[in-house]
Chain A
Amino acid sequence: GQNIDQPTEMTATEGAIVQINCTYQTSGFNGLFWYQQHAGEAPTFLSYNVLDGLEEKGRFSSFLSRSKGYSYLLLKELQMKDSASYLCAVMDSNYQLIWGAGTKLIIKP
């Protein structure tokens, strides 16, 4: 079967750095996405990785290792507004998105 695993909840301090991990087992691979979702809102796109390595975009970076079925989202200089759920999703061979359950990130002052 297809499976996406990510931690349920993480806590970090304002100004610090946090890494959210995601491991996956899917039928084929056409890229891995990270989305941010605030409570009661639709997800917003953060990053897309299809090749191994690190993609940096401002305070957010995303890493992919296809051989390990592993990705992480790195958030630097955390701000209170970063408190949200972070969803990892993999696009399979049929171009369908397989979603993880999301990681709720709590930022403390």
Chain B
Amino acid sequence: GAVVSQHPSWVICKSGTSVKIECRSLDFQATTMFWYRQFPKQSLMLMATSNEGSKATYEQGVEKDKFLINHASLTLSTLTVTSAHPEDSSFYICSAREEDRATEAFFGQGTRLTVV
């Protein structure tokens, strides 16, 4: 299957700082990328959907000014957690979908964010 690379795998940051997470599709063009958040023992919660070259669509309750998503190319999307707080500590996972394979989504490895 297709490969999606997410970086970093884990990060610890101080409250008030910003953290950027990258999601790259390595061997296909990802027309759509999804960002999820997963708290311990809970399922994935979709945060936003981004299409290359356009603004991301955020799910209800997700602050777009706090979670900045950029999908500037067909192989790269970034999620920036701005002014991070301890309650933002979570597992963030991206997935990418290729236009011609609309029913498949491939996941990155996930990023464990801890805000101290």
Contact = CB atoms under 8 A, between A and B. Distances in A.
Interface of A: 30-31, 40-45, 48, 50, 87, 91, 95-97, 99-102
Contacts of B42: 101
A91 B49 CA distance: 14
28 contacts: A30-B102, A30-B103, A31-B103, A40-B91, A40-B110, A40-B112, A41-B109, A42-B93, A43-B93, A43-B107, A44-B107, A45-B1, A45-B104, A48-B104, A50-B103, A87-B43, A91-B103, A95-B97, A95-B102, A95-B103, A96-B46, A96-B49, A97-B34, A97-B46, A97-B105, A99-B44, A99-B46, A102-B43
Contacts of B34: 97
B1 A42 contact: no
A44 B102 CA distance: 17
A42 B103 contact: no
A44 B106 CA distance: 8
Interface string B26-66: 00000000100000001110100100000000000000000
Q: Name the prevailing secondary structure of the A interface residues.
A: loop
Contacts of A91: 103
A59 B3 CA distance: 24
B43 A41 contact: no
Given A41-B110, A42-B109, A99-B44, 14 more contacts: A30-B102, A31-B103, A40-B112, A42-B107, A42-B110, A43-B93, A45-B106, A48-B103, A50-B103, A87-B44, A95-B102, A97-B105, A100-B43, A101-B43
Contacts of B107: 42-45
Contacts of B112: 40
A36 to B, nearest CB: 11
Nearest to A4: B43
Query: Most chain-A CB neighbours within 10 Å: which of B34, B43, B49?
Result: B43
B35 to A, nearest CB: 12
Nearest to A98: B46
